[in-house]
Each structure stands twice: as structure tokens, then as C-alpha cells.
A and B are shown apart, each in its own frame.
Chain A
Amino acid sequence: MIWTNAVVQGLLLGGLYAIFACGLSLMFGVMRLVNLAHGDLGVLGAYFSIILVEHLGGNPLWTFAAVIPVAAFVGYFLQRFLLDHALNGGELSPILVTFGISIIIENLLQQTFGANDQSLNIGSLSYQSWKITSDIYVGRLNVIIFVAAVLVIVGLQFFLSKSRTGLALRATADNRRAASLSGINPKRTRAVATAIALATVAVGGLFLAMRTSFSPTSGTSDLLFAFEAVIIGGLGNLWGTLIGGLVLGVAQTIGSQINPADGILIGDLVFLAVLAFRPQGLIASRNLANR
């Protein structure tokens, strides 16, 4: 029974990783940019929420309404004023610039808030749970996060496949030049992609902060988990990213069940195994733009 429980908890945890991963995947798809500051930007959102609650009070849940639009706004202009320049500078420069952003965010947070762990106090929601069987309880917050993850992925998928902007994003992912020849503004499209990516990672950051404690350096592990989810699931495929997140979550909880210190390591090993034996990911994409 403890194994069933580990799988259930792992699936719920995996939802959170999928939220982190989808933005990373989207930005890579649209502009071949791997944002190494992705996790740190999520953590930045969590600290923003802490400040809001400190000054305005209330349950941190309301801060979603403030943090998400701000994150999207930041993403839009981050792309316009910094990342676009990095993309013009050749293959290496986006990696180096986003790594620089990551270092700046982590150390600014450390300087401002100290290195101590923080958490968002959401009251009774943090410990309430539903009983599934006599041995398996699922935290309400964890279920909410999981549902939110599925909604984010479904919403994103729907947006990409149905809306005009989504079409522009897919077209740009498919062939940047052809897209701009047919009247799509590449700068705006890239900025929209980054805005969406930051909005989703802010959701992830806030949920993470409600679920566990976090610190200025938490962004690193969030980035690595998000990346592992993307690769396990398969590049260029949002459903794959969701599956990848779930697989990673289950691997980590089962690993922790074997030995509490082993959770992350088992997750890493599953990732390396996928990389070695199925580099196209568990769900291979038929079409890179089909996301």
C-alpha cells in the first residue's frame, strides 16, 4: 500500500513540475531559447507574493491575481529589451545571458530576504486532506495544484491550437522566416511566448511556495526538474511535458520511499535513462510545432 501511496503522491507532485516545465518548453519551441533563469523567475514570483501578503494581508491565494499579470508583463519586456538582443548574438549568448539573469535573481533575493527558508501560509488548506482509502490521504492543496496543472496544459494547448496568437506562435516555432513572411510579427510573437512562459512559471512558483518552504536558491532545482520533465516527456509536445512531469514526480516519491535521501537522485537517474535509451522522450512528437 505504501507504494500505491507513493505513486499517488508522485503524480500530484508531478503536476507541479509540469507547470514549471510547460513555459520552458514553450520558449524553446518558439525561439530555441533555453531560459536558465526560468526556475528563479518562478521563485521571484513567490517572493513577490510574500511581499504582497506582508503589506496587504489576506490569504496568499489572492496574490495569484496580482503575480500572474505582473509576471506576464515582465516577461514581455524581458524579451523585448534583453532576450531579443541575446538571440541576435549567436548560439551561445542566450545561454550566457539567461544564466547571468539567474545569478542576479538568486543573489538579489539572498541579499534582500536572506538565505533562510520561507513559505506562504495558506492556513488550513495546507494540511487538510481527502481520504481515498484507509492508507491513502491526498492533500487538498496537492489536488488543487494537480488540477491547476492539467488546466494550464489544456488551456495552453487550446490557446495554441485555436487562437490567432497561438497560430502565430506555432508558425514561428515551425519556421521563423516563413512566419514573418506571412505577416507575423516575430518580435511580438516571441514577447508573447515569454509572457505566457513567465505567467505559467509564476503559477508554479506560488504553488511551490504554498506546498513547501523555499529559499533564494530554490530556482535551480525547479529549473532542473522542469528540464527533466521536458526531456522525459519529449521535446515539442505539451502532453509529453505533462507526462514527463508525472513520471519525474512518481520517480522521486518512490525514490524517497526507498531512502528519504534518494528521491532527487532516482528522478535524475530516470531522466538519464530516458536520455540514454529513448532520447526522443517517452512521447515522441510528430511535429515540432504541434504543441
Chain B
Amino acid sequence: MTSLVNVSKSAIVTRGSRGSRVAFGIGAAVAFLLFFAPTIFGNSVTNNLTQFFILLIMAIGWNLAAGYGGMVSIGHQAFIGFASYAVLDLSIHGILAWYCVPLAIILAGLVSIPVSFLAFRLRGGYFAIGTWVIAQVFQLVIAQQSNLGGGAGASLNDLNNLNPITRDNITYWFALGLTLVALGVTGLLLRSKVGMALVAVRDEEFSAAATGVNVVRTKRLVFVLSAAICGGAGSLLILSNLEVQPDSSFSIQYSAFMIFMVLVGGIGSFEGPIIGAIIFFALQQSLASYGAWYLVILGAFAIAVTLWLPRGIWGAIDPHHRRSIVPLRYRLRASKDDLSISDRAID
């Protein structure tokens, strides 16, 4: 670091690089093409893509809390299930299911505020179990609401009069749209001042506080955003499954999936959840017939990655943050007449 301080005056501080601009361009092109997926691929691929986007949204949400906020939650299924049920409840009250989606996301964000006040009393591993208990409370309370089907669950009947293919396509566009919104919000947040504060908090909470970062408020903001994003996944789940049931809507498996995707892809990176979701989705499709073994493999894989590849696959691909789709870190780049300085990111 000290050697970098004394470089020539011609050095330039930038965020992007050629790699990052290419990556962003490719990402934007892929996103544009994906809008036409229903007409290009037909119904079954479209539905698979919807499932994939739901997983990806969950991973983005969880990564925001764990990877950037340092808060490993095992209770984010609370927000997933809550949003599913919020869509159901609002549609029972006469709001068309599509309009329920943004409302459910907002509600999931709002409900996470009181949750954060309780959960933030705990740290580290106890925070993890604490959120787990809170998710259990959500599940137990919802299971007692007889107007929402109680423990047996209920169906979303609002969209029954729609042509199934049209319904699937609209759900798909919702999923794609929410994915892009989640990515956009995450990217913008991380590039903002809050994002820098977050990275500081994650790396060393006390030093961050000492340099004037409001640690608790920053963490709460991230926690709420992450809950809202997971709420987006939950509201899509009910649109695609058309039914909810407390045990499955609040299943701990969602936490296992989110953790797996983020760890394997690369925790604390923008690209990690995307890579993780692709790998997880492929594994899910190919290992689904193995029943419980598939989860055993998942667990073992997660342990192995944590121990031997702690920054995940993206960390291995891009150890110096040169190719990031959304460049978050400032870097010092040497000008042409000062080639001795390497093009390295400053973390």
C-alpha cells in the first residue's frame, strides 16, 4: 500500500476497467434478450427460468445481509413466507394478485424493521439462531390464521380465470423484472456512500464506527432491503405455485439454498449470487431424483467451499476485482509512462 501512495502524478483513480465495461455490456444484452424468452423458448423453459430467477432473487437478498452486512441470517424464510402470505391475504381482500407483489415486498421490508430490533441484540452465531426462532414465530402465527388456511395452507384463486400460459408468462416477466430491480438496487447501494460504509462495517466494525459510520443504522438498512428482496422471491413463489402452506412457505430449506448459492458463487461479491444460483439450479435439476442425498451433497459442498474456497467461485475467477459487472472498488491505474505500477484494486 505504501508504495502505491508515492506513485507518479500521472496515476489515475478509477472504478471501472475495460473488463468491467465488457462484463456490464454482456450482462445488459443478456437481460434484454431474456425479455423475449417466453416467445423464443416456450412454456416449460419459461417456467424453469422463473424458478431460477426466484432462487437468484433469494441469493441476492441473502448475500446483501450476510456478504455485505456480515449478518448470517438463518431466518430469511420468514420474509419469503410472509410475502407469500401477504399476496394471498391482499388478494383475498380484493386486490388483483399482480398488484399485491409490490405491496408484499414493501410489507416484508416493513415487518423486518421490528424483527431487526430484536435480532440485532444478538451477534454472530446467536444472531443466526435468533433469526431462526423469529422465522418459527412467523410460521406458528400464520398457521393459526384460519382465514389464510391455517396449518393446511390455501390456494391463490385470483388468477384462475387467466389462460395458464399467459399467467406463466406474466409471472416470468415479474420474476425477470424483480431480478433486475434487485440487482440494480444492490449495485447502486453498494456504489453509494452507504456501500462504502457497509464494506467498512463488514471488514472491521469497531474501526468503521470510529471513522464515523453509524454501524447499527447501516446494518438495519441492509437488513431491511435484504428482507424486502427475499419478500420479492416469496411473492413470486405464490404466483408460480398458486398455493401456500406454512411448513413449506417458511421452510428452513430456503435458508440452506440461499447459503449454498451465495457461498459457492462468492459471498460478498455482486456476481457471486448469480454464479451460485446458476450452479445450484443446475444441481437441483440433475440431482433432484436422489432425494435426501441431494441435500447431503449440498451440505458437504457448502462446508468444503467455506473451508477451502472462502470467496467462492467468483473470488477464484476475479481475485483482483477487475472484471466486476458493477465495479465497486476504487483502483489506482498507472498512466502509460509509469508502467511499473500494476493495475491492482484497492480494497
Which residues of chain A have a CB within 8 Å of any CB of chain B? Answer: 28, 32-36, 82, 85-86, 89-104, 106-108, 110-111, 220, 223-224, 227-228, 231, 261, 264-265, 268-269, 271-272, 275-276, 279
Flag if B125 contacts A28 (CB, 8 Å). Answer: yes
Contact indicator A103/B296 (Cβ below 8 Å): yes
Residue in A closest to B74 when the chains form the complex, CB atoms: A99
Which residues 278-309 in B have Cβ within 8 Å of A in the complex?
291-293, 295-296, 298-300, 302-303, 306-307
Identify the stretch in B131-139, B171-179, B180-188 within 8 Å (CB) of chain A at 4 or more residues. Answer: B131-139
Given contacts A99-B256, A104-B296, A264-B136, 13 further A-B contacts (CB under 8 A): A35-B125, A36-B128, A93-B310, A96-B306, A98-B125, A99-B302, A103-B295, A107-B292, A227-B130, A261-B144, A264-B140, A269-B137, A275-B130
Quick check: is B36 within 8 A (CB to CB) of the other chain?
A: no
Residue of A36, A90, A265 touching B141 (CB-CB under 8 A): A265
By a CB distance below 8 angstroms, the chain A residues around B302 are 96, 99-100, 103
Q: How far is the CA of A103 from the CA of B306 in the complex (A)?
A: 15
- Where the two chains meet, the residues of B that have a C-beta atom closer than 8 Å to any C-beta of A are 66, 70, 72, 74, 117-118, 121-122, 124-126, 128-130, 132-134, 136-137, 140-141, 143-144, 252, 255-256, 259, 263, 267, 291-293, 295-296, 298-300, 302-303, 306-307, 310
Inter-chain CA distance A245–B153, complex, in Å, is 32
Number of A-B contacts (CB under 8 A): 125
Query: B263, A96: Cβ atoms under 8 Å?
Result: yes
| CB-defined contacts of B117 to chain A, threshold 8 Å | 276
B307 touches A89 (CB 8 A): yes
The CA of A106 and the CA of B303, in the complex, are separated in Å by: 15
A-B CB contact pairs (8 Å), 17 listed: A32-B125, A99-B74, A99-B128, A99-B255, A99-B259, A100-B303, A103-B295, A103-B296, A104-B300, A104-B303, A108-B296, A111-B291, A231-B130, A268-B133, A268-B137, A276-B118, A276-B121
Cβ–Cβ contact A110 & B292, under 8 A: yes
Question: Is the Cβ of B129 less than 8 Å from the Cβ of A86?
Answer: no
User: CA separation between A86 and B125, bound complex, in Å?
Assistant: 13
Residues of chain B contacted by A90 (CB below 8 angstroms): 310
- Residues on B with beta carbons closer than 8 Å to the beta carbon of A94: 125
- Interface contact A107-B310, CB-CB below 8 Å: no
Closest to A223 in B: B129
Q: Tell me the bound Cα distance from A279 to B121 in angstroms.
A: 7
- Give chain B residues whose Cβ lies under 8 Å from the Cβ of A96: 72, 259, 263, 302-303, 306
The answer to whether B144 touches A224, judged by C-beta atoms less than 8 angstroms apart, is: no
Chain A residue, CB-CB nearest to B295: A107
Residue ID in chain B nearest A90 by CB atoms: B310
**What residues of A have a CB within 8 angstroms of the CB of B144 in the complex?**
261
**A275 and B121: CB pair below 8 A?**
yes
A229 to chain B, nearest CB (A): 12
Chain B residues lying within 8 Å of A279, measured Cβ to Cβ, are 121
Which A-chain residue is minimally distant from B73 (CB atoms)? A95
Contact of A275 among B66, B118, B124, B299 (CB under 8 A): B118
Residues on A with beta carbons closer than 8 Å to the beta carbon of B306: 86, 89, 92-93, 96-97, 100
- Shortest CB distance B309–A (Å): 11
B300 x A100 contact (CB < 8 A): yes
Rounded to whole angstroms, the CA-CA distance of A111 and B140 in the bound complex is 27
Give Cα distance in the complex from A104 to B295, angstroms.
7
B267 to chain A, nearest CB (A): 7
Please tell me if the beta carbons of A103 and B118 are within 8 angstroms of each other in the complex.
no
B292 touches A111 (CB 8 A): yes
* Distance between B191 CB and nearest chain A CB, rounded to angstroms: 23
Residues of B within 8 A of A98 (CB): 125
Q: B290's closest neighbor in chain A, by CB?
A: A111
Pairs of residues from A and B, 10 with the lowest C-beta to C-beta distance, nearest first:
A34-B125, A103-B299, A104-B299, A100-B303, A107-B292, A107-B295, A111-B292, A265-B140, A100-B299, A100-B302
- Chain B contacts of A276 at CB under 8 A? 117-118, 121
Of all chain B residues, which has the CB nearest A110? B292
Which one of B136, B263, B292, B310 lies within 8 Å of A268 (CB-CB)? B136
